[in-house]
Protein backbone atom coordinates (compact mmCIF):
# COMPACT_ATOMS: atom_id res chain seq x y z
CA UNK A 1 0.00 0.00 0.00
CA UNK A 2 1.15 3.52 -0.77
CA UNK A 3 0.52 6.19 1.87
CA UNK A 4 2.24 9.03 0.10
CA UNK A 5 -0.34 11.53 -1.13
CA UNK A 6 -0.34 13.10 -4.57
CA UNK A 7 0.12 16.87 -4.74
CA UNK A 8 -3.52 17.10 -5.69
CA UNK A 9 -4.49 15.42 -2.42
CA UNK A 10 -2.63 17.93 -0.25
CA UNK A 11 -5.37 20.51 -0.23
CA UNK A 12 -7.90 17.73 0.42
CA UNK A 13 -5.99 16.68 3.54
CA UNK A 14 -5.61 20.25 4.79
CA UNK A 15 -9.31 20.88 4.27
CA UNK A 16 -9.93 17.60 6.12
CA UNK A 17 -7.94 18.86 9.15
CA UNK A 18 -9.84 22.15 9.14
CA UNK A 19 -13.23 20.47 9.08
CA UNK A 20 -12.31 17.66 11.51
CA UNK A 21 -11.00 20.24 14.02
CA UNK A 22 -14.32 22.06 13.79
CA UNK A 23 -16.18 18.79 14.46
CA UNK A 24 -13.97 18.10 17.49
CA UNK A 25 -14.83 21.46 19.09
CA UNK A 26 -18.53 20.94 18.39
CA UNK A 27 -18.48 17.55 20.20
CA UNK A 28 -16.70 19.17 23.14
CA UNK A 29 -19.25 22.00 23.33
CA UNK A 30 -22.18 19.62 22.90
CA UNK A 31 -21.06 17.40 25.75
CA UNK A 32 -20.26 20.38 28.02
CA UNK A 33 -23.57 22.11 27.35
CA UNK A 34 -25.71 18.95 27.55
CA UNK A 35 -24.08 18.00 30.86
CA UNK A 36 -24.63 21.53 32.20
CA UNK A 37 -28.26 21.25 31.11
CA UNK A 38 -28.79 18.00 32.99
CA UNK A 39 -26.53 18.50 36.00
CA UNK A 40 -26.27 22.31 36.32
CA UNK A 41 -23.03 24.09 37.19
CA UNK A 42 -21.67 25.06 33.78
CA UNK A 43 -18.25 25.94 35.22
CA UNK A 44 -17.91 22.43 36.68
CA UNK A 45 -19.24 20.66 33.58
CA UNK A 46 -17.12 22.62 31.11
CA UNK A 47 -14.02 22.27 33.31
CA UNK A 48 -14.47 18.49 33.41
CA UNK A 49 -15.30 18.28 29.72
CA UNK A 50 -12.31 20.34 28.58
CA UNK A 51 -9.92 18.63 31.02
CA UNK A 52 -10.94 15.09 30.04
CA UNK A 53 -10.99 15.97 26.34
CA UNK A 54 -7.44 17.31 26.47
CA UNK A 55 -6.28 14.32 28.50
CA UNK A 56 -7.90 11.88 26.04
CA UNK A 57 -6.45 13.72 23.07
CA UNK A 58 -3.07 13.23 24.73
CA UNK A 59 -3.89 9.51 25.02
CA UNK A 60 -4.79 9.38 21.32
CA UNK A 61 -1.57 11.14 20.34
CA UNK A 62 0.38 8.72 22.50
CA UNK A 63 -1.37 5.67 20.97
CA UNK A 64 -0.55 6.93 17.48
CA UNK A 65 3.04 5.70 17.98
CA UNK A 66 1.74 2.13 17.61
CA UNK A 67 0.40 2.84 14.15
CA UNK A 68 3.28 2.07 11.80
CA UNK A 69 1.70 1.75 8.35
CA UNK A 70 -1.49 2.38 6.38
CA UNK A 71 -1.73 5.89 7.76
CA UNK A 72 -4.42 7.00 5.32
CA UNK A 73 -6.52 3.94 6.10
CA UNK A 74 -6.23 4.56 9.82
CA UNK A 75 -7.10 8.23 9.39
CA UNK A 76 -10.23 7.32 7.42
CA UNK A 77 -11.18 4.82 10.13
CA UNK A 78 -10.70 7.48 12.81
CA UNK A 79 -13.10 9.76 10.91
CA UNK A 80 -15.64 6.98 10.57
CA UNK A 81 -15.29 6.10 14.26
CA UNK A 82 -15.77 9.75 15.21
CA UNK A 83 -18.78 10.00 12.92
CA UNK A 84 -20.32 7.01 14.66
CA UNK A 85 -19.65 7.92 18.30
CA UNK A 86 -19.72 11.73 17.94
CA UNK A 87 -22.87 11.58 15.81
CA UNK A 88 -24.68 9.67 18.53
CA UNK A 89 -23.06 11.57 21.47
CA UNK A 90 -26.09 13.64 22.46
CA UNK A 91 -28.45 10.66 22.02
CA UNK A 92 -26.17 8.68 24.33
CA UNK A 93 -26.22 11.47 26.93
CA UNK A 94 -30.02 11.73 26.79
CA UNK A 95 -30.37 7.96 27.14
CA UNK A 96 -27.90 7.93 30.06
CA UNK A 97 -29.82 10.67 31.83
CA UNK A 98 -33.26 9.25 31.18
CA UNK A 99 -32.67 5.55 31.79
CA UNK A 100 -29.60 5.16 34.01
CA UNK A 101 -28.33 6.66 37.23
CA UNK A 102 -24.80 6.86 35.82
CA UNK A 103 -24.79 9.99 33.72
CA UNK A 104 -21.45 11.29 35.01
CA UNK A 105 -19.50 8.06 34.35
CA UNK A 106 -21.11 7.59 30.95
CA UNK A 107 -20.32 11.16 30.00
CA UNK A 108 -16.66 10.79 30.99
CA UNK A 109 -16.36 7.51 29.07
CA UNK A 110 -17.88 9.17 26.02
CA UNK A 111 -15.39 12.03 26.27
CA UNK A 112 -12.47 9.59 26.56
CA UNK A 113 -13.62 7.69 23.42
CA UNK A 114 -14.17 10.80 21.31
CA UNK A 115 -11.09 12.62 22.68
CA UNK A 116 -8.81 9.63 21.98
CA UNK A 117 -9.98 9.44 18.37
CA UNK A 118 -9.51 13.20 17.97
CA UNK A 119 -6.03 12.89 19.47
CA UNK A 120 -5.09 10.43 16.72
CA UNK A 121 -6.06 12.79 13.89
CA UNK A 122 -3.26 15.36 13.97
CA UNK A 123 -0.33 12.92 14.51
CA UNK A 124 -1.58 10.73 11.64
CA UNK A 125 -2.16 13.61 9.28
CA UNK A 126 1.12 15.27 10.16
CA UNK A 127 2.94 12.04 9.35
CA UNK A 128 1.08 11.73 6.05
CA UNK A 129 1.91 15.35 5.17
CA UNK A 130 5.48 14.76 6.34
CA UNK A 131 5.95 12.24 3.51
CA UNK A 132 5.10 15.06 1.21
CA UNK A 133 6.86 18.03 2.82
CA UNK A 134 9.38 18.92 5.55
CA UNK A 135 8.39 18.28 9.18
CA UNK A 136 8.49 22.04 9.70
CA UNK A 137 5.86 22.70 6.99
CA UNK A 138 3.79 19.62 7.82
CA UNK A 139 3.43 20.65 11.45
CA UNK A 140 2.81 24.31 10.61
CA UNK A 141 0.11 23.39 8.07
CA UNK A 142 -1.59 20.78 10.24
CA UNK A 143 -1.69 22.89 13.39
CA UNK A 144 -2.74 26.14 11.71
CA UNK A 145 -5.63 24.38 9.95
CA UNK A 146 -6.54 22.70 13.23
CA UNK A 147 -6.75 25.96 15.18
CA UNK A 148 -8.61 27.80 12.39
CA UNK A 149 -11.22 25.03 12.23
CA UNK A 150 -11.66 25.18 16.01
CA UNK A 151 -12.28 28.92 15.98
CA UNK A 152 -14.75 28.67 13.12
CA UNK A 153 -16.83 25.98 14.87
CA UNK A 154 -16.64 27.65 18.30
CA UNK A 155 -18.19 30.80 16.81
CA UNK A 156 -20.83 28.91 14.84
CA UNK A 157 -21.93 26.77 17.80
CA UNK A 158 -23.70 29.31 20.04
CA UNK A 159 -25.06 31.58 17.31
CA UNK A 160 -26.13 29.13 14.63
CA UNK A 161 -25.84 25.44 15.40
CA UNK A 162 -27.49 25.23 18.83
CA UNK A 163 -30.31 27.75 18.28
CA UNK A 164 -31.26 26.51 14.79
CA UNK A 165 -30.63 22.78 14.96
CA UNK A 166 -30.69 22.01 18.69
CA UNK A 167 -28.17 19.71 20.37
CA UNK A 168 -29.38 16.39 18.95
CA UNK A 169 -29.44 17.42 15.26
CA UNK A 170 -26.12 19.26 15.68
CA UNK A 171 -24.57 16.06 17.02
CA UNK A 172 -25.87 13.90 14.16
CA UNK A 173 -25.02 16.46 11.48
CA UNK A 174 -21.51 16.90 12.87
CA UNK A 175 -21.14 13.11 12.71
CA UNK A 176 -22.18 13.27 9.07
CA UNK A 177 -19.51 15.93 8.44
CA UNK A 178 -16.84 13.64 9.97
CA UNK A 179 -18.20 10.81 7.86
CA UNK A 180 -17.98 12.99 4.72
CA UNK A 181 -14.34 13.84 5.53
CA UNK A 182 -13.56 10.11 5.78
CA UNK A 183 -15.38 9.36 2.53
CA UNK A 184 -13.75 12.28 0.68
CA UNK A 185 -10.27 11.18 1.75
CA UNK A 186 -11.08 7.61 0.75
CA UNK A 187 -12.27 8.65 -2.71
CA UNK A 188 -9.38 11.04 -3.26
CA UNK A 189 -6.74 8.46 -2.35
CA UNK A 190 -8.55 5.32 -3.51
CA UNK A 191 -5.78 4.39 -6.00
CA UNK A 192 -3.19 4.42 -3.28
CA UNK A 193 -5.06 2.02 -1.00
CA UNK A 194 -4.77 -1.74 -1.18
CA UNK A 195 -7.92 -3.34 -2.71
CA UNK A 196 -8.64 -5.52 0.33
CA UNK A 197 -8.40 -2.58 2.76
CA UNK A 198 -10.39 -0.46 0.37
CA UNK A 199 -13.28 -2.95 0.43
CA UNK A 200 -13.23 -2.99 4.21
CA UNK A 201 -13.27 0.81 4.29
CA UNK A 202 -16.19 1.04 1.87
CA UNK A 203 -18.10 -1.40 4.08
CA UNK A 204 -17.34 0.65 7.22
CA UNK A 205 -18.25 3.92 5.50
CA UNK A 206 -21.49 2.36 4.23
CA UNK A 207 -22.49 0.94 7.62
CA UNK A 208 -21.82 4.16 9.56
CA UNK A 209 -23.46 6.24 6.81
CA UNK A 210 -26.62 4.12 7.07
CA UNK A 211 -26.54 4.37 10.87
CA UNK A 212 -26.26 8.18 10.76
CA UNK A 213 -29.03 8.49 8.18
CA UNK A 214 -31.30 6.37 10.37
CA UNK A 215 -30.36 8.48 13.41
CA UNK A 216 -31.06 11.67 11.46
CA UNK A 217 -34.42 10.31 10.41
CA UNK A 218 -35.35 9.26 13.95
CA UNK A 219 -33.88 12.28 15.77
CA UNK A 220 -37.20 14.07 16.09
CA UNK A 221 -39.15 11.07 17.45
CA UNK A 222 -36.23 10.17 19.73
CA UNK A 223 -36.01 13.68 21.19
CA UNK A 224 -39.79 13.64 21.59
CA UNK A 225 -39.74 10.26 23.36
CA UNK A 226 -36.90 11.21 25.72
CA UNK A 227 -38.37 14.58 26.52
CA UNK A 228 -41.76 13.00 27.22
CA UNK A 229 -40.03 10.51 29.51
CA UNK A 230 -38.49 13.45 31.38
CA UNK A 231 -41.79 15.31 31.88
CA UNK A 232 -44.87 14.11 33.73
CA UNK A 233 -47.44 15.46 31.25
CA UNK A 234 -47.79 15.64 27.46
CA UNK A 235 -45.68 18.35 25.80
CA UNK A 236 -47.76 21.12 24.22
CA UNK A 237 -44.85 23.29 23.11
CA UNK A 238 -41.12 22.74 22.89
CA UNK A 239 -38.40 25.01 21.55
CA UNK A 240 -34.67 25.49 21.91
CA UNK A 241 -33.94 29.21 22.15
CA UNK A 242 -30.49 30.75 22.05
CA UNK A 243 -30.52 30.60 25.87
CA UNK A 244 -32.53 27.62 27.01
CA UNK A 245 -34.76 24.70 26.25
CA UNK A 246 -38.39 25.76 26.72
CA UNK A 247 -41.09 23.15 27.34
CA UNK A 248 -44.76 23.72 28.09
CA UNK A 249 -46.78 20.72 29.25
CA UNK A 250 -50.53 20.41 29.70
CA UNK A 251 -52.81 18.19 31.76
CA UNK A 252 -56.42 19.11 31.20
CA UNK A 253 -56.64 22.79 32.07
CA UNK A 254 -53.36 22.79 33.93
CA UNK A 255 -50.05 23.87 32.42
CA UNK A 256 -46.44 23.72 33.53
CA UNK A 257 -43.49 25.64 32.15
CA UNK A 258 -40.00 24.13 32.23
CA UNK A 259 -36.74 25.85 31.30
CA UNK A 260 -33.82 23.52 30.68
CA UNK A 261 -35.85 20.76 32.32
CA UNK A 262 -36.52 22.76 35.52
CA UNK A 263 -40.05 23.63 36.58
CA UNK A 264 -40.76 27.39 36.48
CA UNK A 265 -44.41 27.27 37.41
CA UNK A 266 -47.36 24.91 37.65
CA UNK A 267 -50.65 26.68 36.98
CA UNK A 268 -52.32 24.69 39.75
CA UNK A 269 -50.47 26.50 42.56
CA UNK A 270 -48.37 29.26 40.95
CA UNK A 271 -50.60 31.87 42.62
CA UNK A 272 -49.06 30.97 45.98
CA UNK A 273 -45.54 31.65 44.71
CA UNK A 274 -46.40 34.84 42.80
CA UNK A 275 -48.58 36.34 45.53
CA UNK A 276 -45.77 35.74 48.01
CA UNK A 277 -43.14 37.17 45.71
CA UNK A 278 -44.98 40.32 44.74
CA UNK A 279 -47.43 41.58 47.38
CA UNK A 280 -45.33 41.96 50.54
CA UNK A 281 -42.88 44.15 48.59
CA UNK A 282 -45.65 46.13 46.87
CA UNK A 283 -47.42 46.76 50.18
CA UNK A 284 -44.29 47.71 52.10
CA UNK A 285 -42.98 50.11 49.43
CA UNK A 286 -43.80 53.79 50.02
CA UNK A 287 -44.97 54.14 46.42
CA UNK A 288 -45.98 51.76 43.63
CA UNK A 289 -45.62 53.82 40.47
CA UNK A 290 -42.52 52.32 38.91
CA UNK A 291 -41.75 48.61 39.17
CA UNK A 292 -38.81 46.63 37.79
CA UNK A 293 -39.09 42.87 37.23
CA UNK A 294 -35.84 41.04 36.49
CA UNK A 295 -36.61 37.66 34.84
CA UNK A 296 -40.29 36.77 35.13
CA UNK A 297 -40.71 36.36 31.37
CA UNK A 298 -43.79 34.16 31.93
CA UNK A 299 -45.77 37.31 32.86
CA UNK A 300 -47.18 35.91 36.12
CA UNK A 301 -45.27 38.31 38.37
CA UNK A 302 -46.39 41.21 36.18
CA UNK A 303 -50.01 39.98 36.47
CA UNK A 304 -49.76 40.38 40.26
CA UNK A 305 -48.05 43.78 40.00
CA UNK A 306 -50.86 45.06 37.78
CA UNK A 307 -53.42 44.37 40.53
CA UNK A 308 -52.44 47.81 41.91
CA UNK A 309 -54.06 50.70 40.04
CA UNK A 310 -51.23 52.99 41.24
CA UNK A 311 -48.74 51.18 38.96
CA UNK A 312 -47.85 53.41 36.00
CA UNK A 313 -44.78 51.79 34.55
CA UNK A 314 -43.42 48.23 34.69
CA UNK A 315 -40.04 47.35 33.19
CA UNK A 316 -39.77 43.62 32.56
CA UNK A 317 -36.19 42.60 31.82
CA UNK A 318 -35.88 39.03 30.61
CA UNK A 319 -32.91 37.50 28.82
CA UNK A 320 -34.92 35.41 26.43
CA UNK A 321 -37.27 36.83 23.77
CA UNK A 322 -38.56 33.28 23.17
CA UNK A 323 -40.04 33.12 26.70
CA UNK A 324 -41.77 36.52 26.59
CA UNK A 325 -43.04 35.76 23.06
CA UNK A 326 -44.50 32.50 24.30
CA UNK A 327 -46.02 34.19 27.36
CA UNK A 328 -47.57 36.95 25.27
CA UNK A 329 -48.88 34.75 22.43
CA UNK A 330 -49.47 31.21 23.67
CA UNK A 331 -53.16 30.98 24.58
CA UNK A 332 -52.49 28.64 27.56
CA UNK A 333 -49.99 31.02 29.23
CA UNK A 334 -51.71 34.23 28.16
CA UNK A 335 -54.86 32.91 29.85
CA UNK A 336 -52.96 32.28 33.11
CA UNK A 337 -51.06 35.58 33.07
CA UNK A 338 -54.25 37.44 32.04
CA UNK A 339 -52.51 38.85 29.00
CA UNK A 340 -50.24 40.87 31.32
CA UNK A 341 -47.40 41.26 28.83
CA UNK A 342 -49.64 43.04 26.34
CA UNK A 343 -50.80 45.72 28.81
CA UNK A 344 -49.78 49.29 28.02
CA UNK A 345 -47.96 49.89 31.35
CA UNK A 346 -45.57 47.00 30.57
CA UNK A 347 -42.28 47.65 28.77
CA UNK A 348 -40.27 44.58 27.86
CA UNK A 349 -36.50 44.68 27.48
CA UNK A 350 -34.58 41.62 26.33
CA UNK A 351 -31.29 41.81 28.15
CA UNK A 352 -29.25 40.21 30.87
CA UNK A 353 -30.68 41.49 34.16
CA UNK A 354 -27.20 42.20 35.51
CA UNK A 355 -26.31 44.36 32.48
CA UNK A 356 -29.62 46.22 32.85
CA UNK A 357 -28.92 46.97 36.52
CA UNK A 358 -25.51 48.40 35.62
CA UNK A 359 -27.07 51.15 33.51
CA UNK A 360 -28.79 54.31 34.81
CA UNK A 361 -32.59 54.36 35.02
CA UNK A 362 -35.13 56.54 36.81
CA UNK A 363 -35.62 55.17 40.34
CA UNK A 364 -37.97 52.22 40.93
CA UNK A 365 -40.33 51.88 43.88
CA UNK A 366 -40.19 48.09 43.78
CA UNK A 367 -37.63 45.71 42.26
CA UNK A 368 -38.65 42.04 41.91
CA UNK A 369 -36.16 39.32 41.03
CA UNK A 370 -38.09 36.40 39.52
CA UNK A 371 -35.23 34.30 38.22
CA UNK A 372 -34.52 30.60 37.87
CA UNK A 373 -32.70 29.08 40.83
CA UNK A 374 -28.99 29.96 41.09
CA UNK A 375 -27.74 26.55 39.93
CA UNK A 376 -25.37 28.20 37.43
CA UNK A 377 -22.61 30.69 38.16
CA UNK A 378 -24.03 32.81 35.31
CA UNK A 379 -27.31 33.13 37.19
CA UNK A 380 -25.72 33.38 40.63
CA UNK A 381 -24.33 36.80 39.66
CA UNK A 382 -27.90 38.12 39.92
CA UNK A 383 -27.91 36.84 43.50
CA UNK A 384 -24.54 38.45 44.31
CA UNK A 385 -23.70 41.34 46.61
CA UNK A 386 -22.73 43.40 43.56
CA UNK A 387 -26.10 42.64 41.92
CA UNK A 388 -28.02 43.69 45.05
CA UNK A 389 -25.91 46.83 45.44
CA UNK A 390 -26.80 47.85 41.90
CA UNK A 391 -30.50 47.13 42.51
CA UNK A 392 -30.36 49.15 45.75
CA UNK A 393 -28.85 52.07 43.82
CA UNK A 394 -31.95 52.03 41.57
CA UNK A 395 -34.42 51.92 44.47
CA UNK A 396 -36.35 55.08 45.31
CA UNK A 397 -36.25 56.19 48.98
CA UNK A 398 -38.81 53.94 50.68
CA UNK A 399 -38.31 51.39 47.91
CA UNK A 400 -38.34 47.62 48.42
CA UNK A 401 -36.77 44.74 46.54
CA UNK A 402 -37.38 41.02 46.82
CA UNK A 403 -35.99 37.86 45.31
CA UNK A 404 -37.16 34.29 45.20
CA UNK A 405 -34.49 32.54 47.22
CA UNK A 406 -34.98 28.78 46.57
CA UNK A 407 -36.06 26.44 49.35
CA UNK A 408 -35.08 27.13 52.97
CA UNK A 409 -35.71 23.43 53.61
CA UNK A 410 -34.08 21.63 50.67
CA UNK A 411 -31.37 24.23 50.06
CA UNK A 412 -30.98 25.78 53.48
CA UNK A 413 -27.44 27.11 53.01
CA UNK A 414 -28.35 28.63 49.63
CA UNK A 415 -31.43 30.35 51.11
CA UNK A 416 -29.57 31.93 54.02
CA UNK A 417 -26.59 32.77 51.84
CA UNK A 418 -28.90 34.93 49.68
CA UNK A 419 -30.22 36.73 52.80
CA UNK A 420 -26.73 37.33 54.15
CA UNK A 421 -25.63 38.63 50.75
CA UNK A 422 -28.51 41.13 50.66
CA UNK A 423 -27.58 42.31 54.15
CA UNK A 424 -24.00 42.78 52.97
CA UNK A 425 -25.38 45.06 50.24
CA UNK A 426 -26.71 47.33 53.01
CA UNK A 427 -30.37 46.25 52.99
CA UNK A 428 -32.68 45.54 55.90
CA UNK A 429 -33.69 41.99 55.10
CA UNK A 430 -36.91 40.11 55.88
CA UNK A 431 -36.77 36.37 55.09
CA UNK A 432 -40.04 34.52 54.63
CA UNK A 433 -41.39 31.27 53.22
CA UNK A 434 -44.49 29.28 52.38
CA UNK A 435 -45.49 25.96 50.96
CA UNK A 436 -45.91 25.82 47.18
CA UNK A 437 -46.90 22.17 46.67
CA UNK A 438 -45.33 21.78 43.20
CA UNK A 439 -42.03 23.33 44.42
CA UNK A 440 -42.02 22.28 48.09
CA UNK A 441 -41.25 24.65 50.96
CA UNK A 442 -40.20 27.86 49.19
CA UNK A 443 -38.46 30.99 50.38
CA UNK A 444 -37.99 34.68 49.58
CA UNK A 445 -35.69 37.42 50.83
CA UNK A 446 -37.08 40.92 50.92
CA UNK A 447 -34.74 43.91 51.26
CA UNK A 448 -35.65 47.46 52.28
CA UNK A 449 -33.58 50.61 52.12
CA UNK A 450 -34.72 51.53 55.65
CA UNK A 451 -35.90 49.31 58.52
CA UNK A 452 -39.63 49.59 59.23
CA UNK A 453 -42.57 47.71 60.70
CA UNK A 454 -43.39 44.77 58.45
CA UNK A 455 -47.03 44.24 59.42
CA UNK A 456 -49.25 44.43 56.34
CA UNK A 457 -52.96 44.80 55.62
CA UNK A 458 -53.10 43.48 52.07
CA UNK A 459 -55.22 45.59 49.74
CA UNK A 460 -55.16 43.53 46.52
CA UNK A 461 -57.52 40.57 45.95
CA UNK A 462 -55.44 37.50 46.86
CA UNK A 463 -56.16 33.79 47.14
CA UNK A 464 -53.51 32.70 49.62
CA UNK A 465 -51.62 35.52 51.31
CA UNK A 466 -53.32 37.66 53.96
CA UNK A 467 -52.19 39.50 57.10
CA UNK A 468 -52.21 36.34 59.28
CA UNK A 469 -50.54 34.13 56.70
CA UNK A 470 -47.90 36.84 56.19
CA UNK A 471 -47.04 36.89 59.90
CA UNK A 472 -46.70 33.08 59.84
CA UNK A 473 -44.53 33.24 56.71
CA UNK A 474 -41.87 35.17 58.64
CA UNK A 475 -41.50 32.40 61.24
CA UNK A 476 -38.92 29.66 60.58
CA UNK A 477 -38.95 26.32 62.38
CA UNK A 478 -35.65 25.00 63.73
CA UNK A 479 -34.94 22.75 60.73
CA UNK A 480 -35.11 25.74 58.37
CA UNK A 481 -33.62 28.31 60.73
CA UNK A 482 -30.83 30.68 59.91
CA UNK A 483 -27.35 29.23 59.44
CA UNK A 484 -24.09 31.06 59.00
CA UNK A 485 -22.73 31.20 55.44
CA UNK A 486 -20.32 33.45 53.59
CA UNK A 487 -21.81 36.00 51.21
CA UNK A 488 -22.09 35.35 47.48
CA UNK A 489 -19.78 37.63 45.52
CA UNK A 490 -19.05 38.00 41.83
CA UNK A 491 -15.44 37.14 42.46
CA UNK A 492 -16.26 34.22 44.75
CA UNK A 493 -19.61 32.75 43.71
CA UNK A 494 -20.29 30.25 46.51
CA UNK A 495 -24.06 30.19 46.04
CA UNK A 496 -24.41 27.89 43.03
CA UNK A 497 -22.22 25.25 44.72
CA UNK A 498 -24.32 25.43 47.91
CA UNK A 499 -27.45 25.19 45.84
CA UNK A 500 -26.35 22.10 43.88
CA UNK A 501 -24.89 20.36 46.92
CA UNK A 502 -27.95 21.04 49.08
CA UNK A 503 -30.44 19.80 46.48
CA UNK A 504 -28.38 16.76 45.52
CA UNK A 505 -28.84 15.46 49.06
CA UNK A 506 -32.56 15.15 48.31
CA UNK A 507 -33.04 14.39 44.61
Of 370 and 377, the one with the shorter C-beta distance to ligand SAM is 370
Active site residue 360: no
Least Å distance between CB 356 and ligand SAM?
8
Q: Output the smallest distance, CB 148 to ligand SAM, in A.
A: 32
Supply the minimum distance, in Å, between the C-beta of residue 196 and ligand SAM: 57
- Residue nearer to ligand SAM on the CB measure, 239 or 320: 320
Residue from 146, 315, 318, 370 carrying the catalytic annotation = 370
Instruction: For residues 108 and 4, give the distance between their C-alpha atoms in angstroms, rounded to a whole number.
Output: 36
CA 30/CA 10 separation, integer angstroms: 30
The answer to whether 394 touches 292, Cβ cutoff 8 Å, is: yes
Q: Number of helices (H) and strands (E), helices first, in the chain? A: 18, 11
* Shortest Cβ 411–ligand SAM spacing (Å): 12
CB 294 within 8 A of CB 353: yes
Under 8 Å between Cβ of 67 and 74: yes
Nearer Cβ to ligand SAM, position 25 or 405? 405
Using an 8 Å Cβ cutoff, are 422 and 489 in contact?
A: no
Measured in whole angstroms, the distance separating CA 99 from the mean position of its chain's CA atoms is 21
User: Which residue ranges make up the site for ligand SAM (CB under 6 A)?
Assistant: 259, 264-265, 294-298, 317-320, 323, 352-353, 370-373, 379, 382, 404
In Å, how far from its chain's centre is CA 105? 20
CA 167 to chain centre: 11
Adjacent-strand bridge partners of 258 = 247, 263
Pick the closer one to ligand SAM by CB: 25 or 379.
379
N-term to C-term CA, the chain? 57
CA distance 287 to 92: 54
Q: How far is CA 322 from the centre of its chain?
A: 15
The residue (of 28 and 304) whose beta carbon lies closer to ligand SAM is 304
CB of 436 to ligand SAM, least distance (A): 9
Enzyme catalytic residues: 370
Amino acid sequence: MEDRPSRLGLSMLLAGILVAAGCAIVYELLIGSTSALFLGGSVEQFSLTIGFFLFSMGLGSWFSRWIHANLLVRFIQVEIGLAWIGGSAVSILYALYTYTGHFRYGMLLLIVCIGTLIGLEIPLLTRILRQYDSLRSALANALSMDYCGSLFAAVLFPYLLLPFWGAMYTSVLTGIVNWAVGLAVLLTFRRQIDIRLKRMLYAQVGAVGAFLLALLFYTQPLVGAWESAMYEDPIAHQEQSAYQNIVLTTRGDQIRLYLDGHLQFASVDEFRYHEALVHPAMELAHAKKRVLVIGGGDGLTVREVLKYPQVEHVDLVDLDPAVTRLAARNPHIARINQNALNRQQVHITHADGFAFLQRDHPAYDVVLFDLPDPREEGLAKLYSREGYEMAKRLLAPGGVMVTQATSPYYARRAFWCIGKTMEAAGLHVVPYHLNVPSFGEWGFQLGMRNARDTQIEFSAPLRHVDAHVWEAMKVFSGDMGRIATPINRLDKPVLSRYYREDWSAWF
